[in-house]
Chain A
Amino acid sequence: MVPILTVNDVKLTIDGRPILKGVNLVVNEGEIHAVLGPNGAGKSTLASLIMGINDLKEPDSGEIIFQDKLVNGLDITERAKLGITLAWQEPARFEGITVEEYLKLSGRNNPELDVVECLELVGLDCSYLNRFVDDTLSGGERKRVELASVLAMRPKLAVLDEPDSGIDFASMEDIANMIKTMRDRGTTVLMITHREEIAEIADRATLMCDGKVVQTGNPKDVGQKFKTMCVKCEVRNPELVGGE
């Protein structure tokens, strides 16, 4: 197995508060890798550091390596050109830009771009092409368009921050299938999720808690650990273990 992304002892402090406390993570080329963990564990922060967004261009210490290249300090465009992209937990809204234009911009370097197919894969029909990517799209529709734009771009590595949030329960399978399609077309997927049924499609999973990686392994074991550990975790629930 060839690692495509290596996160090496990454530490980050924001406003004097340690958020990431030495994160180690290896994502292999071609896999779907799920990241689980309670709210505030540092999952989105890690995603931001991988893409270089939110003024998080580099950690305080540690390395982020993409295909043998150190990406610490690179700007967002440079990382995207290497083949990394990210889909936000809460995607941005754009005034005056249509779904079609957005997908075409995202896929401008993809010679096989088929915008209608991208939409279909996320469960939207072609009537959405001339809708605007603004606040007239519902939350779930906007999330789907975001995933479609990742499909359009066809990156080497897609970091998906909670692709399932805001998606109705009945459509969960569509989203799961779409992520598998993404992988089958050559995109390695690092996806953050809270849902077991989505984590199950992963090839491997990592559990994060309190700024650290607790376990990496097969999704079932990691999911199990998440459930049992987090219920009685003293970080999250001090009262359960007799804390104050």
Chain B
Amino acid sequence: MATKNVLDTVAKKFIQIGLPKDLFERNRFNLLVDRNKIIVRYPAPGVRSEVIETPTGVKTKVYVEPGTKLEEPVTLCFGAAETTEVQTTEGEIVVGEGADVKFQVYGAMAEGIKLKHKNKLKVRVEKNARFEFLDLHYNGEDTFVELDTETDAYIGENAYFRSVFKQTRGRAGKVRIVLKAQVDKKGVAVFETKMIGKKDDEIYVEDVIHLNGEESRGISKSRIIAVDETKATFVGETYGNAPRCRGHIDCSEVIRGKDVTVKAVPVVVVNDETAKVTHEAAIGSIDKKQLETLMARGLTEDEAVDVIVQGMLR
């Protein structure tokens, strides 16, 4: 593992793009990776893991022991402090029966760097377990990342999985996010994507939820703010395959600027007469009444837009 010096350099660069300072000051990381180097590794109780460095990144295997309940989130960071051609991360997470854990994962791409990041993740949430996966992305305003990430999740009986992808500062870059879930009896899958694209960013988000078990539930929610010449596409597919399953797709994308292109494609498929899948999709500029309300309190139009957008991305 790396020296304190290396950690300090990385900390400085990541704090600069908005990572909470506190994470470094109190050394909160259970795993911190810079490109393909493990900088910090500190196991969390009840969580067994294996991490190996590969020529372009890391491979991780995580097993949360059955019944493990953690108050504090398991905190991970996969970042790049310098430009590198590609960074590949591959992971497998199994959350054992009845466990209840939250992973807070920081993706940090330092100011001004360029890279391609490929990520593949397999998640298995066993019976009665709860797993929250918060994927928080921080990029600099002059960073350019090509991100390609795929998550495949299985949610067991009466289990809960929430995956949040958030990138609310800096540029999105060129992004392809694909999330897939197979949900068993009474299981719940919640996918949320909140991001902002600027300049010529390209965003593609695809959520696919298969509600295979009786009374399973799925929610797919996206909030994409597209500014300047951003191109963004959201595809939400929910399949209601089992009795009394419920699915909902909620996409509300905001455009700001004449040259943005935003597409939202909700697809609902139902194969059981007692299943119900609904969707709402709205693409539009910022709500005028919200804007005028804040302006009537003395905010300028730009300040008001910022407040509204940050609220939506929260």
Binding site for B on A (CB under 8 A): 51, 53-54, 75-77, 79-81, 84-86, 88, 91-97, 105-106, 108-109, 149, 153
B side interface size, CB within 8 A: 20
Q: Is the interface of B mostly helix, strand, loop or mixed?
A: helix
B55 within 8 Å of A (CB atoms): no
B6 at the interface (CB under 8 A from A): no
Which residues of chain B have C-beta atoms less than 8 A from A105's C-beta?
294, 297, 299, 307
Task: Let me know if B312 and A91 touch, CB within 8 A.
Answer: no
Contacts A88-B289, A88-B293, A92-B293: A108 and B310 contacting too (C-beta < 8 A)? no
Interchain Cβ contacts within 8 Å, total number: 60
B266-314 interface with A by 8 A CB criterion: 287, 289-290, 292-301, 307-308, 310-314
15 sample A-B contacts, Cβ–Cβ < 8 Å, listed by A number:
A75-B295, A76-B296, A77-B299, A79-B296, A80-B299, A85-B298, A88-B293, A94-B311, A95-B311, A96-B313, A97-B307, A97-B308, A105-B299, A106-B297, A153-B297
B296 near A85 with CB under 8 A, answer yes
Residues of A within 8 A of B314 (CB): 95-96
Q: Roughly how many angstroms separate A96 CA and B306 CA in the complex, as a whole number? A: 12
Contact A80 B307 (CB under 8 A): no
Give the residues in chain B near A92, CB-CB below 8 Å: 287, 289-290, 292-293
Q: How far is the CB of B74 from chain A (nearest CB, A)?
A: 25
Chain B residues with CB under 8 A of A97: 307-308, 311
* Contact across chains for A81 and B289 when beta carbons are under 8 A apart: no
A77 close to B300 (CB less than 8 A) = yes
- On chain A, the residues within 8 Å of B307 by CB distance are 97, 105
Knowing A53-B292, A76-B292, A88-B289, the reply to whether A96 touches B297 (Cβ < 8 A) is no
Taking CB atoms, residues of chain B closer than 8 Å to A153 are 297-298
Decide if B299 touches A94 in the complex (CB within 8 Å). Answer: no
Q: Mark B233-276, 1 if CB is under 8 A from A, else 0.
A: 00000000000000000000000000000000000000000000
Is there an interface contact between B295 and A94, defined as CB atoms closer than 8 Å? no
- What A residues does B311 contact at CB under 8 A? 94-97
Considering only CB atoms, which chain B residue lies closest to A106 in the complex? B297
Query: Is A94 touching B297 in the complex (CB atoms < 8 A)?
Result: no
Which A residues lie within 8 Å of B296 (CB)?
51, 53, 76, 79-80, 84-86
Query: How distant is A152 from chain B, measured CB to nearest CB, in Å?
Result: 8
Q: Roughly how many angstroms separate A77 CA and B310 CA in the complex, as a whole number? A: 20
Contact, CB under 8 Å: A96 / B310: yes
Flag if B290 contacts A76 (CB, 8 Å): no
Q: Which B residues fall within an 8 A CB radius of A?
A: 287, 289-290, 292-301, 307-308, 310-314
**How near does chain A come to B124, taking the closest CB pair, in angstroms?**
31
> A31 vs B294: C-alpha distance in the bound complex, in angstroms?
25
Contact A94 B308 (CB under 8 A): yes
A102 to chain B, nearest CB (A): 9
Residues of A within 8 A of B310 (CB): 96
**Chain A residue with Cβ nearest B292:** A53
Given the complex, which residues of A lie within 8 Å of B300, measured CB to CB? 77
Contacts of B289 in A (CB 8 A): 88, 92
Question: A80-B299, A97-B307, A105-B297 known; 7 other A-B pairs, CB under 8 Å?
Answer: A77-B295, A77-B301, A79-B296, A86-B296, A91-B293, A95-B312, A153-B297
Enumerate chain A residues within 8 angstroms of B312, measured Cβ to Cβ. Answer: 95-96
CB distance from A142 to the nearest CB of B (A): 11
Q: A80 near B308 (CB under 8 angstroms)?
A: no
B298 contacts which of A53, A91, A94, A108 (Cβ < 8 Å)?
A108
A144 vs chain B, min Cβ distance (A):
15
Bound Cα distance A77, B313 (Å): 24
Residue numbers in A under 8 Å from B313 (CB-CB):
96
In the complex the two chains form, is B290's CB within 8 Å of A80's CB? no
Give the Cβ gap from B272 to chain A, nearest Cβ, in Å. Answer: 30
**Min CB distance, B196 to chain A, in Å?**
13
CB distance from A77 to the nearest CB of B (A): 5
Query: CB < 8 Å: which of B290, B298, B308 contacts A77?
Result: B298
- CB contacts (< 8 Å) of A94 on chain B: these are 290, 308, 311
The minimal Cβ–Cβ distance linking B255 to chain A, given in whole angstroms, is: 16
Q: Given the complex, which residues of B lie within 8 Å of A81, measured CB to CB?
A: 298
Top 5 closest A-B pairs, CB basis? A96-B311, A96-B314, A76-B295, A92-B289, A80-B298
Tell me which residues across on chain B come within 8 A of A53, comparing CB atoms.
292, 296
CB pair A85–B292 under 8 Å, yes or no, is no
The docked-state distance in angstroms from the alpha carbon of A149 to that of B299 is: 13
Q: How far apart sit A98 and B111, CA to CA, in the bound complex (Å)?
A: 31
A6 CA / B94 CA spacing, docked (Å): 70
Contacts of A75 in B (CB 8 A): 295, 301
User: What's the least CB distance linking A90 to chain B, in Å?
Assistant: 8
Name A159's closest neighbour in chain B (CB-CB): B296
